[in-house]
Structure 1
Amino acid sequence: MEFLLDYGLFLAKILTFASTVIIIFAIIKNAGGKEGQKGKLTITNLTDKHKDLIHAIESHLYDDAVLKVRNKKEKKANKAKAQEVKAEAKKITDLTKLVSSRNPHLFVVDFKGSIDAREVTALREEITAVLAVIKEGDEVMVRLESSGGMMHAYGLASSQLDRIKQAGILLTISIDKVAASGGYMMACVADRIIAAPFAIVGSIGIIAQLPNFNKLLKKYNIEFEQLTAGEFKRTLTMFGENTDKARDKFISELEETHVLLKNFIAVHRPSLNLEKVATGEHWFGNQALPLGLIDSIGTSDDYLMSAIKEKNVLGIRYVERKKLTQQLADSAAEATDRLLLKWISLGQRPIV
């Protein structure tokens, strides 16, 4: 028994020491970053990544002699192509025409939205970077995953996507899992919406729910005071006694917000029958297609595999530089978001 106690104490000391070292290194790493640098844009050549994947698999399918001949021919073809591009570039005297003579590109951006859509900070940087170099013939694809959240936050996220449309660039939204409510508000901005067969789409409605502890407080003789200036500065409250007048006002605000959402969607998808789909219901991809909520069935992987044959595909990601405290706070906020979304969707989505 004494041995187990000694061993437990020793193990606790080791864990404490290891945790301290990790925290110190994390603090040094955060402090050692460049002053004023808020984040970094990372670019991944998905076309090259796809080719590397093929070569890696082919190395197990063919003999070394075959691969050696293939690689030699590929190298020769790439060299000839590079010389051809160089020769064509020399003929162009106008710098603007020279820059715009490149091959079409597909820029891929990911957006996995939280309740407050805080990911819009990275999204705006990614879109700004893409718009700085984009040209006619290019395309932007956003792999979107969001169950929605705050109206004003998703309004901003939708406006960021609309910047691409305003620039006259084709915008494709791919939904592999879910784009509901605020998520669909973002998706509807696109020229083309692709969804997986069982992706959740729609939920064009507004929801607000909160518990009221007024009766519980009264039971324990606890008084709650709330002072406001303005008749409707606060309507429903968690601790005060809610009145029918306040409740009616809150409902009218929900209805007004719903109208704003429907009007926004109507602008971007005018052929959609909003009386039929703006009921707060959600649909799976196969059901959403005949309703006009999406344009085709497919996954983002299928779309990228097809695009790689015709365009150079680049993944664009902005990584925000955060202090350790902010990283911990974001992790806690993300966990809270997941819990809230699960609670809100209880009984609303069937489980397989």
Structure 2
Amino acid sequence: MELLTEYASFLAKTVTLVIAILVVLASFAALRSKGRRKAAGQLQVSKLNDFYKGLRERLEQSLFDKDQIKALRKGEAKSEKKQKKKTESKPRVFVLDFDGDIKASATESLRHEITALLTLATPKDEVVLRLESGGGMVHSYGLASSQLARIREAGVPLTVCIDKVAASGGYMMACIGEKVISAPFAILGSIGVVAQLPNVNRLLKKHDIDFEVLTAGEYKRTLTVFGENTEKGREKFQEDLDITHRLFKNFVARYRPQLAIDEVATGEVWLGLAALEKRLVDELKTSDEYLAERAKKAEVYHLHYAERKSLQERIGMAASGSVDRVLLNWWSRLTQQRFW
């Protein structure tokens, strides 16, 4: 026990020192950046055909001798020459990534990527979204879904690839794709709405602490953390959840009319194999497999809009990550529990 106390004391001192240093650096960065305009982001474009070609050539160099490689390159040169003579140009595939957190923060980059590609993309091209998200806030994922709807409205084919998870708000985005492709054991579904909050009103009453909530409007506040919740407030809160769920169901049914919406909109999730049977997805395949196949017949471009973060923002992110890692490591040492 004494060892544990000493370790906790040492950890507290270390965390305090790290935070103090980061606060000083953040303050310095704030002073330097004061008065400066925030730098705009930049659209980064890379050709995935070159990436795949580089992988293949590296493997060939390890497996074949010089004469064999020379023969391969000669054959490739002839093939490329024939391709250039063809009047028809190759179709283009624009690849986007969306790694969603609870606030759908990646929407900020997604909106710029979509704006850029829609200036050039035609119905002969294709947009592939590699999507990973377990869902989050209704309004945040509503905006992210609206961005994808712009692609459909422009008449550009949209394919959504899910390797790990697209649930709740994530599936709300995925269903917009004309084609939805999933890895066999990806998690899909959760077409439902959930809200939860603690209530400590009885604890406050036990210690003779009053808490008052003043509102103008009968339903300005239905359930609270500190106040006394009423049955009427609970009913209104549930009614709001039901309305949101109904809108969610109608949205999914609009883009995937082949679904038995009442059967799948129960809040349940399914693995890719079962999701295919439920028609939540159209095909079982990883995004790597799909893009490698498309690269054989199309020019594949990866788009990423990179936000330029200020020094202050970078220090803040580093500070948050460092503290989280320290606390998680300390807690896991004490409890020996697993974290997901």
What secondary structure, in the 3-state scheme, does the structure 2 residue paired with 1:310 have? Answer: coil
Q: 1:139 aligns with which of 120, 123, 126?
A: 126
| 2:301 matched residue in structure 1 | 314
1:180 pairs with 2:167: yes
Contact 2:25 2:315 in 1 (8 A): no
For residues 73 and 306 of structure 1, what CA distance do their matches in structure 2 show? 20
Answer yes or no: is 1:291 the counterpart of 2:278.
yes
Q: Does 1:282 align with 2:269?
A: yes
Q: Spell out, residue by residue over 1:231-286, the C-alpha distance to the aligned partner (whole angstroms, 9 max, x if none).
A: 11011111111111101100000000000101111111112111111011111110
| Of 43, 46, 62, the match for 2:45 | 43
SS at match of 1:198: coil
The one-letter code of the counterpart of 1:235 is: T
Give, in whole Å, the separation in 2 of the partners of 1:158 and 1:329.
29
Q: Which residue of the partner structure matches residue 153 of structure 2?
A: 166
Percent identity of equivalent pairs: 48
**Residue-pair matches, total:** 304
Per the alignment, in what secondary structure is the counterpart of residue 287 of structure 1? helix
What is the alpha-carbon distance in structure 2 between the residues aligned to residue 213 and residue 297 of structure 1? 47
- Aligned pairs for 1:214-253 (under 5 A) are 214-253=201-240
Post-superposition Cα deviations, 1:5-24, rounded to whole Å, max 9, x if no partner, equal xxxxxxx9xx98xx78x959
Instruction: Select 1:115's aligned residue among 98, 102, 109.
Output: 102
Instruction: Return 134-143 or 319-328, whichever deviates more.
Output: 319-328
| Structure 1 length-normalised TM | 0.79
Q: In the alignment, is residue 198 of structure 1 matched against residue 200 of structure 2? A: no
- Distance in 2 (alpha carbons) for counterparts of 1:204 and 1:77: 48
Amino acid at match of 1:113: G
What SS does the aligned partner of 2:123 have? coil
Which residue of structure 2 aligns with residue 273 of structure 1? 260
C-alpha distance after superposition, 1:174-219 (max 9, x if no partner): 1111111111111111101011111110000000011111122222
Match of 1:58 in 2: 60
SS at match of 1:133: coil
Q: 1:251-266 counterparts in 2 under 5 A?
A: 251-266=238-253
Give the structure-2-normalised TM-score.
0.81
Change (3 A) 1:327 1:226: farther
**CA-CA distance at 1:70 after TM superposition:** 2.9
Match among 60, 70, 73 for residue 71 of structure 1:
73
Q: CA deviation at 1:136?
A: 3.0
CA 1:180–1:232 in 2, change beyond 3 Å: closer, same or farther? same
State the Cα distance separating 1:324 from its structure 2 match.
Answer: 3.3
Shift of the 328–257 alpha-carbon distance from structure 1 to 2, 3 Å rule, reads: farther
Q: What is the 5 A alignment of 1:79-98?
A: 82=84, 84=85
Q: For residue 178 of structure 1, give the secondary structure of its aligned residue in structure 2.
A: strand
Partner deviation per Cα, 1:114-147 (whole Å, 9 max, x = no partner): 1111211100000111111112311000000111
In 1: Cα distance, 2:223 partner to 2:315 partner:
32
The root-mean-square deviation of aligned C-alpha atoms, in Å, is 3.0
